[in-house]
Amino acid sequence: MPNDSLSRRELLLSVPLVGALGCSNAATEALGFQPLFDGVGLAGWQGDESRWLVEAGTIVGRSPGIEYNDFLATERSYGDFMLRFQIHLLNNSGNSGVQFRSERAPGDTEMIGYQADVGPQYWASLYDESRRRETLAAPDNETLERALKPNDWNEYEIHAQGPRIVLKLNGIPTVDYLETDAGIPLTGRIALQIHSGPAMEVRYRDIQIREL
């Protein structure tokens, strides 16, 4: 939390550390960011509330082990934006991620679109969920080792503007991707993932967006 005695210049210089310092909503909103999660309930989100719940100001995705991917998705769609959030993958076990410019597959639990990936061997990479079904871009091992806190909260950033997508983990750029397929949609929902497979738990907090 910024110290009330800070000068205006010092406060502005401290803003890039919002994730690490737990900056107030007021300071964050001054930069044009708005909360996607109020820390209390799941207003504005749609999903299976037996899998997704709110505990201690965080969105918790908890799975006993499921055979399908499950998602908590925003009710509205977004196009160009900067999205910041903090994520903790319990014991760095399992797989999660944040969908964006995505839509729900008709009659299915799946989402279709880009994913900022989370999990061992996938952290901070860009995956194309249920469409091309491949990793589009990923950091090298050295970059990921510098960026990742394996069993702690991590600050993740997604910057999507036109065909360009930039991912950062704890302030370190991990992906800079340019989409060359003009048929790929540039708008869609944002969604949090619980991956199929063994029991797992993932937590999200301080989810903020600035539309561009």
| DSSP letters spanning 79-147 | -SEEEEEEEEEGGG-S-EEEEEEEEEPTTSS-EEEEEEEESTTTTT-EEEETTT-EEEE---HHHHHHH
Per-residue pLDDT, 72: 98
Instruction: Give the three-class secondary structure for 33.
Output: coil
Q: Are 76 and 134 in contact (CB under 8 A)?
A: no
Domain 33-211: which CATH number of 2.40.40.20, 2.60.120.560, 1.10.260.40, 2.30.30.140: 2.60.120.560
Residues 169/72/178/181 CA torsion (nearest 10 deg):
160
Instruction: Give the three-class secondary structure for 189.
Output: strand
Per-residue pLDDT, 31: 83
> Where do the structural domains in the chain lie, given as residue ranges?
1-31, 33-211
pTM across the whole model: 0.85
Local confidence pLDDT in tens for the 212 residues of the chain? 444 433 333 333 333 433 443 445 565 665 899 999 999 999 999 999 999 999 999 999 999 999 999 999 999 999 999 999 999 999 999 999 999 999 999 989 999 999 999 999 999 999 999 999 999 999 999 999 999 999 999 999 999 999 999 999 999 999 999 999 999 999 999 999 999 999 999 999 999 999 99
